Structures are given as C-alpha cells and as structure tokens.
Structure 1
Amino acid sequence: MQTDQGYLTYCTNIHPGENWSDHFAALQQNFPSIKAQVSPDILMGIGLRLSHQASEELQHADNLTELKQWLSANKAYVFTMNGFPYGEFHNTAVKDQVHAPDWTTHERLDYTLRLFGILKQLLPGGMEGGISTSPLSYRYWHNTPELLKKATDVATANILKVAKELISIDHQSGIFMHLDIEPEPDGIIENGPEYITWYTQVLLPQGKPLIAETFGVTHDEAERLLKRHICLCYDVCHFAIGYEPHQQIIAELEEKGLKVGKIQISAALKAALPSDTKSRKPILDTFEKFNEPTYLHQVIAKTQNGQLLRYRDLPDALNDGANAAVDQWRAHFHVPIFTEELGLLQSTQSDIVEVLQINKNKRFSQHLEVETYTWGVLPDEKKLPINDSIARELNWVKDIL
C-alpha cells in the first residue's frame, strides 16, 4: 500500500511452492486475508517471489492474463520482486545453495531477464519497479583471490547485460525498473562498504565504456544510467548482523550518488554474552533452538576490543561459544519484526526503526518490503498463524511510519 514513505508490502517468499500453480494458490489463499487486516480500503502492492520454474510458466499468456485479472479483482498490484532464490526455498536444505546458480552463470542472467519481462507487464503505469538479487555469489565457492576476482568480473559483466536491457526498456517504453543488489554475510558483496567499493571500482569502470558505446552517450551519461538502473537492496537484517552504522552508510551512498532500490524490512537475532560460563550457557542453549537445517544462519560476533569474528553457520559459532573474548553475537535468522524480546535473546528491531527514521528524513527509497521468511522453521513456541503474523508485521511498520 502507498504510505508517506513509499510503497509498503511483504515478500511472498514466505509461501512455499516451486511451480506457478503453487505460487498462485498461495497468493489466492493468503493475500486477501492479509490485505483485509492491513489495507482493506486501498490498493495494496505485492512483493512477488517467483522461482525459476514458476517464472517460466508465468510467461504463458493464459497464466499471465489470469494473474492480471486476479490482481485487479483483489485491488492488488506488483511493484517489486525477489529474484534472489532461484530454486526451492522451503522444505529442503537450502543453505549456501540459495546463491545457486550465481551471477557467473547464464542461468542466473536468463532468470533475471525473464523476471523483468514479467514485471514490465505487471507494473502499474508511472510506477517504478525493482527486483532484488544475490550479491554476485557465495564467496567461499571461490577460495583464492584470483578466483574471487574472476567471479566478480564475470558476474559484473552479466549484471551489465541486465543494465543494458533495463536502459533499453526505459528508452523505448518509459517503464523504469532497477536491479537491486542485496549484500549478505558471506556473499561476494556482504556489507555496505563492499557494495560501494564494488560499484565504484568494478561496476562503473567496466560499465561506463560499455553503456557509452552501446547507447551513443557520454561517459557521464553512462554513469547516470547505471546509477539509475543498478541499485542497492538495503536488507536491514543483513546490515544489522554486521554492526553497520546505518546513518554513515546511507550518507556515503548519497554522497556517491548510489541509489537504494528497496529497503527489506527484516530483523536478526542478537544477544550479549556474559563473561562467566554459567550465565552464558542458557543464552547459547537458546541460540541452539534456532539451529535448524534449512537456511544458513551466519553469526558475526563482536569481541571486547571491537573486532568482528565471522562464522559461516550457527553450529560453527556454537562450537566456539566459550570464547571469552566475545561479548556479543548477531545471527542471520529473520525473526518476526514486531517483537524485540525473544526470551533470553533479542532482535535487531531497533535497526529497523533507525533505518525507517533515516528514510523519513531523506526519502532514499520508496520500496519497503517486509521479509520474514522463516516462520516455518521458528521454534514451536514462536509460531503463530501465518496470515495474522504477516498482517501484524505490516501493521507494526505502518505504526512506525
């Protein structure tokens, strides 16, 4: 729905399903109830997640027509999409395979272009559209500096192919869409500074000559076009895990003219770790309850001298739980955003409030998407009816806005 700060929705990656029939059935089953609780009287947008298989099936004219008719009948529209998970995202061990296929492959490129082709047909007139995507690749698949550089260069070249398509669509039809790169712990791009470095030292040097030659424009105009169509997805959970200073990062993005295409409103787990073993153990035991086999739950620990220690998954952190130098953990687990206290643990809810306050002052993005996709793997005592939970999250954000 439209708010004073932009368009607010939730990401449908919470709903399981691999083919279009399953995706559409989930929308039909869940969205009307959510809308009735959040936006009963005005149009409400959808943050659509399509798997590779579903995106192929939705290209069929009958399926797309049926979706358009359903959207109209339910006073709904699609303005943003999640193009990060390519394949199955529930009911299987996703872990690092959430990045596969990565941006070094033609499969990722073709999938993303297909999503933009669909979004172009669904996007309301005069509204900008965006699709969030992976941070190039999973860094531990490229285990030497040379391999990491090669993967970065190939991935960047493929992203520039998307940029060329988006610029062409904009020029030919006036439909404005952007690709939103989503930093994540252990991605090739995992935080704000790495995104800015990649953009200024890799993407722009590769992209400006290419765009200038392709469209017959100056290098300055090529840079403007790239900054218009290749943006950042500011996932608050991911940035909070890395203890990132939101005000500083957003100010540096603004100073360099780099745009935020979407704010993903999400919260991570955190806890202070007492120095004595007896007091620490119950906290570690509570973290253990969130150790489930579907998703990666990277942990970034802060030591007493301010250094950061990175663990690829929660079991790795738990194995080092007695490390007396560490006094805080933050874990990649998208917990419900409407609560700050989770027993002995807390959420990074305050980071959401801070980022939305900055957006209120600066209006650095007009796409706001709640993304809590882990309802199905939460400990039993944290589970609530899914539609009521999603509506409660959206209404909590409305109150903050």
Structure 2
Amino acid sequence: MEIKGFQLSYCSNIHPGESWEATFENLTKYIPEVKNRLSVDKPFGIGLRLSNEASLILEKPEQLAEFKNWLEAEGAYVFTLNGFPYGDFHRTAVKDQVHFPDWTTTDRRDYTVRSFKILAQLLPESIDGGISTSPVSYRHWFKSESALNAGMKTATQHLLEVVEELVEIKKQTGKSMHLDIEPEPDGILENSDEMIWLFSDWLLPIGKPWLAEKLGISEDEAENRIKEHIQVCYDVCHFAIVYEKPADTFAKFEKAGINIGKIQISAALRVLIPHEPAARDLLKVNLLPFEESTYLHQVVAKRKDGTLNSYSDLPEALKVLDTTDEEEWRIHFHVPVFLDNYGALASTQDQISIVLNEILKNPSIANHLEVETYTWEVLPEDTRLNLGESISRELAWVIEKLN
C-alpha cells in the first residue's frame, strides 16, 4: 500500500510452498485477512516471493491472466518480488543452499529474467518495480582468490545480461525495473564497501564498454543504465549484523551513485556477553531455542576494541561462549519487528526506527519498503502468533512509525 509516498508490503516468503498453486492459495487466504485487520480501504501492495518452479507456471498467459483478475478483484497489486530463494525455502534444511544456484549460473540469470518479464505485466504504470536477489554467491564456496575472481567475472556477465533485458523491457513498456542485490553475512557481498566494490571493480569496468557496444550508446549512458537497473536491497537486519550505521551507509551509496531499490524491514537478535560464568550459562540456555536446522544464523561478534569476528552459524558461536572475550553478538535470525526484546534477549529493532527516520527526512533514499520476517515457523513457541495476526502486527507497527 502507499503510505507517506512509500510502497509498503510484507514479503510472501513468510508462507511455505514452492509451487504456484501453493503461493496463490496463501495469497488468497492471507491478503484479505491482513487487509481486514489493518482496515485497508485502498490498493494493497504485495511483495511476492516467486520460486523458480512457480515462475515457470505463472509466466503462462492463462495463469497470469487469472492472477491479474484476482489482483484487480481484491484491490491489490505487485510492485516487488523476492528472487533470492530459487527453490525450497521452508520445512527443509536450507542453510547455505539458499544461494544455489548462484549468479555464476545461467539458471539464476534465466529465473531472474523470467521473473522480471512477469513483474512487467503485473506492475502498475506509475510505479517502478524491483526484484531482490542473492549477493552473488556464498563466499565459503570459493576456496581461493583465483576461484573467486573467476566466479565474479562470470557472475558480472550474467548481471549485465539482466541489465540488457531490463533496458529492452523499459523500451517496450515504459516501465523501469531494477535488480536489488541483497548483501548478507557470508555472502560474497556482505556490507556497503563490498557492494560498492561490485560496481567499481566489476560492473562498471566490464559493463560500460560491453553495454555501450551492445546498445549503441556512450559509455556514460551505459553507466547510467547499469546504475538504474542494478540497485541495492538494504535489509536492515543484515546491515545491523555487520554493525553499519544507516546514515553512514546511505551517504556512502549516494556518494558512489548507487541507488537503494528496496529496504527490507527486519530485525536481528542482539545479545551482550556477560562476564560471569553463570550468566553465560544462562545466556546459552536462552539462545538454544534459536539453534535450529533450517536456516543459517550467522553471528557477527564485536570486541571491546571494535574489531569484528564472524561465525558461519549459531552453533559454531555457542561452542566458544564460555571463553570468548567478545562483548556483543548480532545473530542472523529474523525476529518480529514489533518486539524489542525476547525475555533476556534483545533485538536490533532500534535500527529499523533509525532507518525509517532517515527515509522520512530524505524520501529519495528508497521508496520500496518490505517487512521480511520469514522465520515464524522456526521461532521459539512463546514468540509465535497466528500468521495473519503476525503479518498485520508487523505492518501496523511500521505504519505507526511512519506516521
């Protein structure tokens, strides 16, 4: 829905199911409920999670027509897609496979292009559209610098081929759409500096001459096309985990001429490490319910001198809790945005408030906002709510903040 000039929704990756049938069933069940709970009487924007399997069905004209008819009847529209998880995302061990297939593969490129062609047919005329995607790949899959460089070269070419498609779609339809790359811990891109590195060392040096020749335009124009069609997905949880300050990050992207296509509103777990052994034992007991087998829960620790240390998953960090000299942990576990603590545990909810204040002061930072708490099924039982109520409470909290 539009509020204060922003497009706001929740990401439907909260719902289990990879097929289009399951995706559509969830939308028809929950969108009317959420609209009713929020008393929405204007068009309701949807952040659609579309798996590769679902995209192969929805691209068929008869399926797309049925969905468009439902959207019109329901008073809803789609302005953003989550194209990060390609395949299974619930009720299975996802872990690092959330990155597979990565941007070194034609499968990832083709799925993304297909998704953009679908979005172009769903997107209202007056709104730009975006699809969030993987931060190129999972960094621990690359065992040497030469392997990483080879992977980056291939991935860059695939990203530029998406840009070429988006330029053509805009020429045909007038609709501007952007691929929103989502840095996250242990991705090849996990912070603002690495996102800028993607542009400065890969996309622009390789892309400007390539795209200029392909399209018969100048290299300056090619740079503008690249920066229009490849942007950042700023996941508040992810940037909080790596201890970035929103205002500083936004300023860095502005200076580099990199746009933010989407802000995903999400919160991470945050804990201060006590000194006393008994208190550490209690902290471990409180964290154990969050040690689950579906998703990666990377931990970034901060020491007294400000240096950071990373763990690839929560169980790895818990092994050293008794002896570590670290003072704070931020844990990649998306928790409800409307709570700032979970008993003895805290969240990075304050970072969401800071981000919302920043964009209210400067709306040009980003105009797509998407609540993305996808972990309801694996949260400890005492933090779970009815799913429709959960979605509505999160959106209501964000609306209150924006107002």
Compared CA separation, residues 328 and 91, structure 1 to 2 (3 A): same
1:394 aligns with 2:395: yes
Unaligned runs of 5+ in 2: none
Matches of 2:166 and 2:296, distance apart in 1: 32
Matches of 1:282 and 1:20, distance apart in 2: 44
**1:221-268 residue CA offsets vs partner (Å, 9 max, x unmatched):** 111111111000000000000011211111011112110000000000
Which residues of 2 match residues 168-183 of structure 1 at below 5 A?
A: 168-183=168-183
Residue aligning to 1:121: 121
Which residues of 2 match residues 204-283 of structure 1 at below 5 A?
A: 204-283=204-283
SS in 2 for 1:289: helix
SS in 2 for 1:326: coil
Residue aligning to 1:367: 368
1:138, distance to aligned residue in structure 2 (A): 0.4
Matches of 1:113 and 1:38, distance apart in 2: 34
Residue aligning to 1:296: 296
Equivalent position amino acid for 1:132 in 2: S
Matches of 1:36 and 1:214, distance apart in 2: 49
Which residues of 2 match residues 2-401 of structure 1 at below 5 A?
A: 2-363=2-363, 364-401=365-402
Equivalent position amino acid for 1:288 in 2: L
Matches of 1:97 and 1:39, distance apart in 2: 38
* Contact kept? 1:275, 1:324, Cα under 8 Å: no
What is the percent sequence identity of the aligned residues? 51
Q: TM-score, normalised by structure 2?
A: 0.98
SS in 1 for 2:190: coil
Matches of 2:27 and 2:109, distance apart in 1: 26
1:294, distance to aligned residue in structure 2 (A): 0.3
Give the stretch that moved more between structures: 214-223 or 180-189: 214-223
CA RMSD of aligned residues (A): 0.9
SS in 1 for 2:290: coil
Unaligned runs of 5+ in 1: none
Equivalent position amino acid for 2:133 in 1: T
Equivalent position amino acid for 1:137 in 2: S
Matches of 2:346 and 2:199, distance apart in 1: 33
**1:252-306 residue CA offsets vs partner (Å, 9 max, x unmatched):** 1111211000000000000101112111221122111100100000000111211
Matches of 1:244 and 1:115, distance apart in 2: 31
Matches of 1:245 and 1:383, distance apart in 2: 29
* Contact kept? 1:232, 1:261, Cα under 8 Å: yes
**1:19-62 residue CA offsets vs partner (Å, 9 max, x unmatched):** 11111001111110011122521111000001111100111222
Matches of 2:323 and 2:357, distance apart in 1: 36
Compared CA separation, residues 324 and 142, structure 1 to 2 (3 A): closer
* Contact kept? 1:5, 1:359, Cα under 8 Å: no
**1:357-390 residue CA offsets vs partner (Å, 9 max, x unmatched):** 1111122110000000000000111110000010
Equivalent position amino acid for 2:371 in 1: V
Q: How many pairs does the alignment contain? A: 401
1:330, distance to aligned residue in structure 2 (A): 0.5
SS in 2 for 1:234: strand
Give the stretch that moved more between structures: 163-172 or 374-383: 163-172
1:5, distance to aligned residue in structure 2 (A): 4.3
* Contact kept? 1:289, 1:379, Cα under 8 Å: yes
Equivalent position amino acid for 1:239 in 2: F
Equivalent position amino acid for 1:104 in 2: T
Matches of 2:322 and 2:242, distance apart in 1: 21
**1:62-107 residue CA offsets vs partner (Å, 9 max, x unmatched):** 2111101110111000000000000010010000000000000011
Matches of 2:118 and 2:95, distance apart in 1: 28
1:181, distance to aligned residue in structure 2 (A): 0.2
